[in-house]
Amino acid sequence: EDKVVQSPLSLVVHEGDTVTLNCSYEVTNFRSLLWYKQEKKAPTFLFMLTSSGIEKKSGRLSSILDKKELFSILNITATQTGDSAVYLCAVMTTDSWGRLQFGAGTQVVVTP
Amino acid sequence: DAGVIQSPRHEVTEMGQEVTLRCKPISGHDYLFWYRQTMMRGLELLIYFNNNVPIDDSGMPEDRFSAKMPNASFSTLKIQPSEPRDSAVYFCASSSDLPRINEQFFGPGTRLTVL
């Protein structure tokens, strides 16, 4: 059975701290891994990762994929209160084009 | 540009009633997805369409759920009869064909409460 596991489930940090979120997966025929940010409403797309070792970066957020060890990390540097959200990881396989399997998410709370 | 549009935003109904959720995808997107999100089960894919044709409905929980996409700009998710365990937030998402198939854009969701 395919699995997507995120850790930690939640964390609280102070503004300015750096946060590292983990997503590990066990799926057959892996195609890509995606990160989404969900505030109080709909998830919004952050990154899509397909190749190992290539860092994707957007402002203070960055992510990298390790296809050998089957995990990805999402880093947020110099955190701000606006980074408070649930961060979701999802995996797509080649077996079902378009089907995303989501992890449970990591809730991040950034305090002033 | 308008994003994915869903209606209603909130729905409260009584057990046994029929519920219809509506979605208008982003214009030009070929893929449409219906998700359900609960605290217990997280975000789950129910069904998705490509060019108005259902491709994978393995996530539809049971026969009480049905989805249609009569044209490229409209889809419905129907629950009949509804049960309290159907209470959840239902999201519709759309994406374009290659190369951005993986980048799904989510609507604001419909919060369904079945009493």
Query: Which one of B55, B95, B102 has the shortest CB-CB distance to A32?
Result: B102
A43 in contact with B at a CB cutoff of 8 Å? yes
The answer to whether residues A84 and A108 touch, using CB atoms and an 8 Å cutoff, is yes
The answer to whether residues A111 and A15 touch, using CB atoms and an 8 Å cutoff, is yes
Q: Which residues of chain A register pLDDT less than 70?
A: none
CB contact under 8 A, B42 and A96: no
Q: What are phi and psi of B84, to 5 degrees?
A: -55, -35
* Helices H / strands E in chain A, number of each: 0, 11
> For residues B79 and A79, what is the distance between their CA atoms, to the nearest angstrom?
41
The alpha carbons of chain A give a radius of gyration, in whole angstroms, of 14
- In chain B, which residue's Cα lies nearest the Cα of A105? B42
Q: Note down pLDDT in tens along chain B; length 115 residues.
A: 689 999 999 999 999 999 999 999 999 999 999 999 998 888 999 999 999 999 989 899 888 999 999 999 999 999 999 999 999 999 999 998 755 667 889 999 999 999 9
User: What average pLDDT is seen over chain A?
Assistant: 93
DSSP annotation string for chain B: ----EEE-SEEEE-TT--EEEEEEPPTT--EEEEEEEETTTEEEEEEEEETTEEEE-TT--STTEEEEEEETTEEEEEESS--GGG-EEEEEEEE-STTSTT-PEE---EEEEE-
The answer to whether residues A30 and A90 touch, using CB atoms and an 8 Å cutoff, is no
> For residues B80 and B94, what is the distance between their CA atoms, to the nearest angstrom?
24
CB contact under 8 A, A43 and B106: yes
Side chain identity at residue B76, one-letter code: T
Q: Which of A100, A101, A106, A107 to mutate to test the interface with B (most CBs of B within 10 A)?
A: A100
> For residues A99 and B37, what is the distance between their CA atoms, to the nearest angstrom?
15
Q: Which two tokens stand for residue B7?
A: 């209606």
CB contact under 8 A, A104 and B42: yes
Query: Which one of A43, A98, A101 has the shortest CB-CB distance to B101?
Result: A98
